Amino acid sequence: MDLKRLFRQSEPRFIEFDPDLHDEIFWEAYRLKSFDMESDLDYWEVIDLMHHRIAAHQDAFMAYDDGVPVGIIVADIFAGAVEPHLEYFRWASARAIIRVEVAFLTRLRFADSVDKIIIYSYPSNVAFFSRLVKYLPIVSQGLQGDGRHMFVIEGAHP
């Protein structure tokens, strides 16, 4: 695993969702078509939709790479299993996306309360998650009945 090289200069940061800090970021991301939403919404409609999306999950974080917000992370926890969902903004580079994914999943993996991480991927993203094996012990569980591909990372308790 080549984590030292991936995080040679810095590591991504994760800040708990705060509307006062992050609503303007959501608006800018919407204006740049980062979200699958109608194109004629006003500021408050976008913010309400994003808050509603976030409220449907137990945890939410804004992901930053090199000081720039690059995506929103929400996660659900079920008896030691964590199911994270990451949505990146249009301006997030491929490098930032890999760095954020690896950093966040590594932190989850070493959290005391996490037994396993479950990742569901649509077919278009399977190759991306398959490449993460270079950095994480991610195991494919194959195609699920709903058409998504499932990957699992076992927790690593020291």
pLDDT in the model for residue 2:
73
Range of the domain at 107: 12-154
Q: What is the CATH number of the domain that holds 35?
A: 3.40.630.30
Identify whether 126 is part of a domain: yes
Identify whether 3 is part of a domain: no
**Residue 15: is its pLDDT beyond 90?**
yes
pLDDT in the model for residue 158:
54
Identify whether 98 is part of a domain: yes
d(CA 22, CA 24): 6
Q: What is the mean pLDDT of residues 61-65?
A: 96
- The DSSP output letter for 63 is E
Q: What percent of the chain has pLDDT over 90?
A: 70
Identify whether 6 is part of a domain: no
Number of domains in the chain: 1
- The DSSP output letter for 52 is H
With 0-12 / 13-18 / 19 or more C-beta atoms within 10 angstroms meaning exposed / middle / buried, residue 57 is middle
Identify whether 7 is part of a domain: no
- Residue 125: both structure tokens together: 């993203």
